Amino acid sequence: MCGIAGWVNTNISFSDEINVMEKMTETLKDRGPDDCGYFKSENALFGHRRLTIVDPEGGKQPMERNAGERHYVMVYNGELYNTDEVRDELKLKGHKFNSYSDTEVLLVSFIEWGPDCVHHINGIYAFGVWDENEKTLFLARDPLGVKPLFYSIKNNNLIFGSQIKTLLANPLVEPVIDEEGIMEIFGLGPARTLGNGVFKDIKEIAPAHYLIYKDNIPRIHEYWKLEAKPHEENIRSTIETTRNLLVDAVERQLVSDVHLCTFLSGGLDSSAISAIASNYYKNRGRETLDTFSIDYKDNDKYFQTNLFQPDSDQVWAERMSEFIGSNHHTVILDNIKLVEALKDAVLANDLPGMADIDSSLLLFCKEIRKNSTVALSGECADEIFGGYPWFTRPEDINADTFPWSKSSKERNEIINKEFIKLPLEEYVAQRYNDTIKKVPKLTGESKEEARMRELFYLNIKWFMMTLLNRKDRMSMYNSLEVRVPFADYRIVEYSYNIPNKFKFYNGREKGILREALRGILPDDIIERKKSPYPKTHHMDYTEAVQKWMKEILSDKNSPIHQLINDKKVNEIVNTGGKSFKKPWYGQLMTGPQLIAYFIQINTWMDEYKVKIEL
């Protein structure tokens, strides 16, 4: 994986601006610690930082290539999983290759097919191609949005990069938020509207979109979308297809010239990936697979069973490790360090995030990076196969809002009404309704089936994006590439049209996936009730975030005072978050995690010198 940066303007000639590109590219050093490179022409500047995974020499960037009289330059962050097939297809068309890197295959794909290259590739990617002769920039992002790509257009300048901080390193882009940005943070956060960069003038290429910038005009196109189709297969055939798609996706993502491992919680999704990977290694005489799980100091004493977290992971992770014969590592996190890492999580994300759910992943990835450079993880299975409680609870299924965030009214009460009055509840409702209008449905399907399509679509476009953003930022902050096999667009396309009676086979969440894994996983793992990413239950953590937030509130210069109702937030802090009756977000952001979110907002405003423009 890598980090990319670029700046184009066809109305001026770049002269001394290379130093700006160097500053922009320097913000990406964590994403790419192994190498860096630059390209400069009259109207374009590119920068690249590389984390070397495949073909150290042949994959150097920015990559340049001539085709006839035209000259192309590309910067690319990602991994293609059908490199060999695409290379073979291009060879039949007369193209020759100088390396075995996917970077060269991607660039030649663009030369051959132009924007349609995205219909030939399968992978996770964000890339930009500059056509020096046509003075045209092409930017594209993978179908599910695993890799990030931000941009800003100001005075005919198009500036892009893998992270928000990359754009902010350019003097033309300022850290300003307006009313919309505030409502993103307080109404939807830690989620974001697709394409919204929170900061004023910063946008993001949405998943499955590309942008063509020519003659100072941006043209955005959606190149892939979910389609509602009749499902013609019976239950046995559906189980087999699901199994085959998953095994193929995992095995494709095991390609690496550096050490690779898997995340293993002992849950269904990570266990499936680890088992398939381990079997692949054994069949090819490869080294023993390394697996990693996370836990918290003294969590065995403080763990609290609830609807969202029925049991602890550790015993199950060890059970799976023994079953597949992996070399297993348990990372035990200290609760105070977990609090301290809230700041680093903000710096990694460039925005307030999922509180200690972020900082724990950041510390986890830091430990994994001591052993491995690439990891596979189980995100996205719950969103596409129906793993969350809101897929089965009637009150959530029928909620006229995002089922993981039913607290718009309560969130609105936190805003400082003396400073600003915002239509926060209306803003959230509008974002929800805008998404519902786009849901692909089948003519004649029942009201119940149509509603479940809406739920799956909402999860793919919103909740899944939050988790994918989190995984990318926390891992790449530690120079660790994490791949997500369940985010293969072929699996997502197929699962979207599986009828609910199959998806919830035997009345279980992710029932079809469980059946598809018979023979791959032991029965007790298959039958284990869904348990989310583990969080701390230790009082040390709660007390530490309370203390920190009280210090923030007592400092009249703390920037968060501009935005919050101090009395309301004080009440939340003093009760350890218990006075905020509804979960802030998802299954995990409750109580002390909400206090930590406020800490992250203040940290973000302070570290990024955020200016409010109303």
* C-alpha distances out from residue 170 to 18, 29, 476, 519, Å: 11, 16, 21, 54
Q: What CA–CA distance (Å, rounded) separates 271 from 269?
A: 5
pLDDT at 365: 98
- Single-letter amino acid code for the residue at 415: I
Instruction: For residues 319 and 274, give the distance between their C-alpha atoms in angstroms, rounded to a whole number.
Output: 12
- The pLDDT value given to residue 301: 61
The reply to whether omega before 190 is within 30° of 0 (cis) is yes
Whether 14 contacts 460, CB under 8 Å: no
Phi first, then psi, for residue 65 (nearest 5°) are -160, 140
pLDDT digits (tens, 9 = 90+) for 275-309: 999 999 999 999 999 999 999 887 666 555 544 45
Sheet holding 123-131, edge to edge: 63-67, 70-80, 123-131, 136-141, 209-214, 217-222
Q: Are 308 and 270 in contact (CB under 8 A)?
A: no
Give the distance between the most distant pair of CA atoms in the chain. 70
Strands 217-222 and 260-263: unpaired
- Integer angstrom CA distances of residue 71 from 65, 108, 135, 136: 6, 12, 10, 11
Q: Output the CA–CA distances (angstroms, integers) from residue 86 to 110, 113, 224, 269, in the order listed.
A: 11, 12, 19, 29
- Asked if 38 contacts 25 with a C-beta cutoff of 8 angstroms, the reply is yes
Q: State the residue for tokens 């894994």.
A: 517
Q: What is the pLDDT of residue 581?
A: 85
What digits encode the pLDDT tens for the residues 181-228?
999 999 999 999 999 999 999 999 999 999 999 999 999 999 999 999
pLDDT(538) > 90: no
Active centre residues (catalytic) = 2
298 vs 479: which has the higher pLDDT: 479
In the predicted structure, residue 243 carries a pLDDT above the cut 70? yes
b/e code 147-173 from CB counts within 10 Å (16+ = b) = bbbbbbbeeebbbbbbbbbbbbbbebb
Report which residue type is found at 474: M
Instruction: Tell me: pLDDT of 568 over 60.
Output: yes
Q: Is the pLDDT of residue 107 over 70?
A: yes
Is pLDDT at 484 greater than 60 in this prediction?
Answer: yes
Instruction: Give percent of the chain with pLDDT exceeding 90.
Output: 88
pLDDT at 310 (0 to 100): 53
**φ and ψ of 332, to 5 deg:** -100, 120
Low-confidence winner among 63-72, 384-393, 587-596 (lowest mean pLDDT): 587-596
Own/partner pairs for 164-167, CB < 8 Å, 24+ apart? 164/197, 164/198, 164/199, 164/202, 164/350, 164/351, 165/27, 165/350, 166/3, 166/5, 166/24, 166/25, 166/27, 166/28, 167/24, 167/202
* Dihedral sign (CA 570, 576, 578, 580): positive
- Closest to 460 in 3D by CA, of 477, 482, 440, 443: 440
- Tell me the whole-structure pTM to 2 decimals: 0.96
pLDDT of residue 101: 92
